[in-house]
Amino acid sequence: MITREELQHATKVLGREPTKTELGMLDVLWSEHCSYKSSKRWFYLFKTTADNVALGIGEGAGLVDIGGGYYVGVAMESHNHPSQIDPYNGAATGVGGIIRDVISQGCKAVGLMNCLRFGHPEKPHNAYLLENVVRGISEYGNSVGIPVVGGEIEFDESYDDNCLVNVVCVGYVKPEKVVRSSARTPGHYLIMFGSTTGRDGIAGVSFASETFSNEEEENRGAVQIGDPLAKKVLIDTLSELIEEELIDGLQDFGGGGMTSAAGELARAGGTGIEIHLERVPLREDDMDPSEIIISESQERMLAIIAPEKMDRAKVILEKNDTTYAVIGTVTDDLQYTAKYKGEVVASLPISLLVDGFPVPERIEGKITAQTESLSWFKEPEDYGTTILMLLQSANICDRSWIYSQYDQHVQSNTVVDLGENAGVLEFPNGRLLAFTSDCNSFWCKLDPQTGTANSAAESLRNLVSMGARPLFIADCLNFGNPERPESYAQFVESVRGLGRFSHDFDIPIIGGNVSLYNETVIDGKNRRINPTPQIMISGIFNQGFNPIKRNLVTPWANIFLVGETFPELNGSEFQRLILGEVKGIPPKYQPTTEKNSMNAILEAHERGLIRSCNNVGRGGIAVALLKMVLKSDFGFKLNMDYIPGTINSIGQGLFSETSSRYLAEVTESNQPEFLKLIEKHGTTCCELGLTTTDPIADFGRFAIRTSDARKAFSGGLSKYLE
Amino acid sequence: MSIAVIRFPGTNNEDDVLRALAQIPGAKPYLVQSRKGLAGLKDADGVVIPGGFSYGDYLRAGAVASVDVIVEGIRDLAEDGKPVLGICNGFQILAETGILQGVLLPNQSARFVCKWVYLKVSEQTTLFTENIENAVLRLPIAHAEGNYFCPEEQLVPLWDEGRIPFTYCDSRGQVTDDANPNGSIDNIAGIINQKGNVLGMMPHPERASRPLLGSTDGLQILENFVRATK
């Protein structure tokens, strides 16, 4: 809710008390969700520009030039609070909202991703949330006809009371068809079209900007209800309007409803707007003007159309049976004026409404210092059993129970399905783009800055292992209550980490979202999520390059480990499994060595030297190697005794999560050239061994049958679910 | 030849089908929105009903679309012997109209399923399977209601008359329970009407029509369909 200082500020600027309607409008637009009032002040740390960035942070979607007369568009958002209350509708409308962000920029939506966090699925309520979030995403995305091309999931008890549902939508648009979210010309009309307006989602953003208490049930009315059929018809209608260039400005109805949509259009265009609320097509007759103006009913768009184009636009809207209404006009008075049956119910300066809030003071607390100590580490007695345990850990195992419910092939552009390091889509200019996302919340919990930078590096390695060059970043930053110093410190440190990464690797951040207040007070005890900066990176392949997958494809090829390994087991999945918790200083972020190994792998891919490739992440080399045989007809025979770096034992070598490392399958004839490249780029590598025709993962001192690995991997998650 | 590709509100595979058909020499595919009614089918030598969620699949998959006016035009074309292909939701609509026998129940798992499957092509030659008899094809599926069922008195003639062109199998062509992704009776993935000119199938041939997509096996089915429109 609006604070006392904010109310005083508004009263002072207005020279009077705000009306009931105005109060509702200020409440939603000054909420953390809409205003970014605790977070925006740090965005200067990000690298946001580059030659190919056509539209950066600030509108519905970021746009990047991919050549051949096309931009790729991307938007990323959270729908955490609604999904915790009503997982099916919350997740479905999260997908609906992110699609709207992308199409409102004029894009055709071609891909979806989702990044999820839940408490451990062995608790029935967490399994229930997971099943219904997945069903919500699946039924909505499948119906609208947009393939899911990527995603990731992690489980930890810190998400027991605050699950996270972050969604990404990818699209493309020709530069001349880009639609901006601004109302530039006084006299133009405001047309709303799509679904009617009801009471669902009233003040959803305000509820998303507070922490949960034990009484969650009463917030169910704040969750919107999705309608994928209406969305599909909306998309088809919109694409006709865009094709005929009838729209001068466009904004979707998202968080904050009409208050936000119209306010942001006027703010971006340097204009004002006048709206007649009685013209809004309603679902429920007896709605108050104060409800109409903040309703977050789904599947609605607000377009700015010039008077001379109105007739043609009406023909298209009517032909498609789309509900629409001319609800107002663009003005030059810089005011947001809302009338209801002739009476003025709100008249606020746009500059006050959109970002005229008094900037709140936030205190950055201290992050608890961690130690390097490995005193907890004991060499496992049975490596094979330990590896099988890791493979079936909910944070590593097979996710096909989830992604088999998502249509991955609709639109017929999907080159690489889910279950690889990244999903790959073909764009109409013939270029292939890869999409991946990562966040290791355990690293981030121990050291938010390093953990964030390293999560981004893990995303980067996903792309590089397939042969894609990083192109842009979108992020979704999920944290606790910014009014608490320790939560705020986690957020600020994390932004520093992401900022560093974006500059170190020269990758622009073109879109994102911040979700705060992901904490809950249960019986007087405060429970906060692990810091969860979700980092999505897209990469582009050279023309004609076929993405490289991770399953071994030839017998008697060499398997190389690129990069050095240090005894970095604090924060690792191995530690979590052995101790039941993570502690200590997590793996270091090492931009220089990371860049060296990236450049070596990318050049080796360009020259066609690598048959299959995997990056080393959660679970260390052991898990990375097994992922290369799970879907392969081949096995391997290795010697793990001489791993470059400073590790002191086989176990440390197998399970360390040091960054900058890759595994590459290289045939004998390509070996000399590959080794030359490794040297040229100043990185190191060692030959671990050979691929074999036996279905056995032979590590030298011990071996695992591929069939056992497959069994452990495939059952890890599905055993908790229906 | 002129091939009408139907879009009901909520259909979402029409562009995929148009694109796949357009690569086949002689095919002139064009989009027909269902609201055009019978007029939309005036010049059609064949019809494809693509996948998606027609009318949101509210009530039951394909149920609302099956009473759309344009369906009467499709029925007339089918009776005239023109080739008709229903893919996924298109198959569900054809079953709802009764143009094809049987029903498509919710998957046995009660969940939507998207994955690559193998199809065993029957040994009997049909309009749609010329030159691929006995082959094992790799195509993707994506549906929530693909569990084909029909009573014994319909099932026996379907088999006897060679009207089951595709069954789910493993990579070696073995028709096993493990290879059945949705619980369909006898692993049935597609059926043909008595006249032999209407095919309904759950797998998506249009999504296996370019090397980049991982398979071109679906293209052969579409090529046979196009040949039949001549």
Q: Does B53 touch chain A (CB under 8 A)?
A: yes
DSSP code for A19:
P
pLDDT in the model for residue A208: 66
Q: Residue A357's closest CA among A57, A2, A41?
A: A2
Contact state of B212 with A415 under an 8 Å Cβ cutoff: yes
Structural domains present in chain A: 1-30+179-357 (3.90.650.10), 32-165+422-547 (3.30.1330.10), 376-397+548-722 (3.90.650.10)
The yes-or-no verdict on residue A722 having pLDDT over 80 is no
Question: Tens of pLDDT along A387-437?
Answer: 999 999 999 999 999 999 999 999 999 999 999 999 999 999 999 999 999
The yes-or-no verdict on residue A72 having pLDDT over 90 is yes
Chain B contact probe: residue of A132, A407, A633 with most B CBs at under 10 A: A407
Band of pLDDT at residue A234, cut at 50, 70 and 90? confident
Angle at A651 between CA A650 and CA A656, to 5 degrees: 110
pLDDT in the model for residue A206: 66
**Sequence-ordered list of residues with C-beta below 8 angstroms from that of A516, at least 6 positions apart, any chain:** A32, A38, A39, A209, A479, A480, A481, A482, A487, A491
Question: Tens of pLDDT along A106-160?
Answer: 999 999 999 999 999 999 999 999 999 999 999 999 999 999 999 999 999 999 9
pLDDT in the model for residue A232: 81
- Distance, in Å, from the CA atom of A128 to the CA atom of A131, rounded to the nearest integer, reads 5
Q: Residue B4's closest CA among B98, B74, B76?
A: B74
Mean pLDDT of chain A: 94
Comparing A356-360, A531-535, A603-607, which segment has the lowest mean pLDDT?
Answer: A356-360
What's the whole-model pTM score?
0.94
For residue B19, give the nearest of A142, A412, A414 by CB distance.
A412
Q: Which residues pair with A527 in a beta bridge?
A: A520
Extents of the domains making up chain B:
2-228
A231 vs A684: which has the higher pLDDT: A684
CA dihedral A412, A417, A418, A421 (to 10 degrees): -130
pLDDT in the model for residue A233: 83
| Terminal C-alpha separation, chain A | 39
Between positions 142 and 181 of B, the ones with CB within 8 A of A are 142, 144
Quick one: average pLDDT of A281-287?
89
Quick one: average pLDDT of A5-12?
94
**Sequence-ordered list of residues with C-beta below 8 angstroms from that of B67, at least 6 positions apart, any chain:** none
pLDDT in the model for residue A236: 86
| Residue A64 token pair | 């990047």
- Distance, in Å, from the CA atom of A379 to the CA atom of A583, rounded to the nearest integer, reads 18
Q: Does B229 touch chain A (CB under 8 A)?
A: no
Question: Tens of pLDDT along A175-219?
Answer: 999 999 999 999 999 999 998 998 876 766 666 667 766 555 455
Band of pLDDT at residue A574, cut at 50, 70 and 90? very high
Q: How many other C-beta atoms are found inside a 10 Å radius of the C-beta of residue B45?
A: 17
How close is the nearest chain A Cα to the Cα of B35, in Å?
10
Band of pLDDT at residue A302, cut at 50, 70 and 90? very high
- Distance, in Å, from the CA atom of A26 to the CA atom of A28, rounded to the nearest integer, reads 6
User: Are the C-beta atoms of B55 and B67 separated by less than 8 Å?
Assistant: no
- Residue B73 has φ and ψ, to the nearest 5°, of -65, -40
pLDDT in the model for residue A626: 97
Band of pLDDT at residue A15, cut at 50, 70 and 90? very high
- Distance, in Å, from the CA atom of A677 to the CA atom of A507, rounded to the nearest integer, reads 24
Q: Does B5 touch chain A (CB under 8 A)?
A: no
User: Are the C-beta atoms of B43 and B87 separated by less than 8 Å?
Assistant: no
Band of pLDDT at residue A606, cut at 50, 70 and 90? very high
Element housing A614 (H / E): strand A612-615
Contact state of A409 with B140 under an 8 Å Cβ cutoff: yes
Chain B contact probe: residue of A142, A319, A409, A432 with most B CBs at under 10 A: A409
| Residue A513 token pair | 């979202």
Q: Residue A300's closest CA among A200, A229, A231?
A: A231
Question: Tens of pLDDT along A465-522?
Answer: 999 999 999 999 999 999 999 999 999 999 999 999 999 999 999 999 999 999 998 8
Quote the CATH superfamily of domain B2-228.
Class I glutamine amidotransferase (GATase) domain (3.40.50.880)
A125 in catalytic set: no
Q: Residue B109's closest CA among A479, A285, A566, A722?
A: A722
pLDDT in the model for residue A361: 94
Contact state of A409 with B57 under an 8 Å Cβ cutoff: no
Question: Long-range contacts of range A217-224, CB-CB < 8 Å, 24 or more positions apart?
Answer: A219/A81, A219/A85, A220/A85, A220/A86, A222/A82, A222/A85, A223/A82, A223/A85, A223/A86, A223/A89, A223/A90, A223/A93, A224/A82, A224/A89, A224/A93, A224/A96, A224/A200, A224/A296, A224/A297, A224/A298
CA dihedral B15, B17, B21, B22 (to 10 degrees): 10
- Distance, in Å, from the CA atom of A609 to the CA atom of B75, rounded to the nearest integer, reads 56
DSSP code for A587:
P
- Distance, in Å, from the CA atom of A584 to the CA atom of A568, rounded to the nearest integer, reads 10
- Distance, in Å, from the CA atom of A182 to the CA atom of A184, rounded to the nearest integer, reads 6
- Distance, in Å, from the CA atom of A490 to the CA atom of A59, rounded to the nearest integer, reads 26
For residue A565, the number of C-alpha atoms closer than 13 Å in the C-beta half-sphere is 28
A38 backbone φψ class: left, alpha, beta (φ>0; ψ -120 to 50): alpha
pLDDT in the model for residue A229: 81
User: Are the C-beta atoms of A142 and B142 separated by less than 8 Å?
Assistant: yes
Q: Does B9 touch chain A (CB under 8 A)?
A: yes
User: Are the C-beta atoms of A598 and A539 separated by less than 8 Å?
Assistant: no
Q: Is the CA virtual torsion A483, A485, A491, A495 positive or negative? A: positive
The yes-or-no verdict on residue A293 having pLDDT over 60 is yes
User: Are the C-beta atoms of A147 and A419 separated by less than 8 Å?
Assistant: no
Alpha helix ranges (H) inside A362-511: 383-391, 400-403, 441-446, 448-466, 485-504
The sheet with strand A324-331 has its strands ordered as A249-252, A300-305, A189-194, A324-331, A272-276, A335-340, A343-349
The catalytically annotated residue of A33, A81, A188, A276 is A33
Task: Using 70 as the pLDDT threshold, list the residues of chain B that sit under it.
Answer: none
pLDDT in the model for residue A222: 61
- Structure ipTM: 0.94
Contact state of B206 with A412 under an 8 Å Cβ cutoff: yes
* Chain A positions in Cβ-Cβ contact with residue B10 (cut-off 8 Å): 143, 228-229, 232-233
User: Are the C-beta atoms of A559 and A664 separated by less than 8 Å?
Assistant: yes
> What is the separation of C-alpha A173 from the centre of its chain, rounded to a whole number of angstroms?
21
Quick one: average pLDDT of A650-672?
97
Q: Does B140 touch chain A (CB under 8 A)?
A: yes
For residue B212, give the nearest of A407, A409, A426 by CB distance.
A426
Q: Does B209 touch chain A (CB under 8 A)?
A: yes
How close is the nearest chain A Cα to the Cα of B157, in Å?
34
Between positions 58 and 87 of B, the ones with CB within 8 A of A are 58
